[in-house]
Structure 1
């Protein structure tokens, strides 16, 4: 038996090869991204700070951060890859906007993990104790500034994930 494929039959009408597994992987990655970040930000971190002293809680959360950053980068990266593989990443203004949002979140997460977090760690090492030195100590002020940036970036990346989860009805993978 010989099967003949005509050039016009190679791709579906919308010009892409449908990969039915890409959309569920995208949705799973979105859920892991947004829900994982929300859990760590609003449940785990406050619970640690509530149950431990400030110094101990800072050490615990500081030890978790490298894993948290890799988790976020992986979930967002998988979401972006699945979006692209599905062929729907650039098929209309809404899809392009969603893809830009994922790329922005991935960029912010990369900056957070590889540039900001090491700077915070270096400044934190200059502060002997967060319970005793004055809030006016230069290293303490710099730590507070960087920590504020870190929280802002974390919330922006989380918000991007939530927006994408809520707007997921428009994603057709």
Structure 2
């Protein structure tokens, strides 16, 4: 599948020269509601979710792509108000997850603990959440591709990647060689 990555001119040219893409961490994303498609009204879920989000912020990142290179909203938001670049890549269907949108926050509960030390923030990733009416989400990675409907900028595709753990295709500076 062809996937498109929108960037401003400076970062786009830098990516081309260095033949790499910068992987965004959760704290670097421009949407403060990222990962907040889940209802956090239950205090136990809220605590576990915050710990999981902190862990994911330290150990995971994502690259955002679109299936469509001519979406004006993508150009406006991610390519410096139509002055940036749109880089096209051929990616395997297995390596991306299509963004799904929800009109309201999704109810969640902690169904099972995979590690007895969930209260330790370093092991929070071992919680298994079940979004009501959906399959279990091991380590929360599926949460990267669920967004609230008001965030819908167009047809988005996301590729989640490990950034801080040892991984053959990720460099030390949280970039992905292209």
TM-score, scaled relative to structure 2: 0.29
Q: Which has the higher helix share?
A: 1
Name which one, 1 or 2, has greater alpha-carbon Rg: 1
Structure with more of its chain in strand, by fraction: 2
Normalising by structure 1, we get a TM-score of 0.29
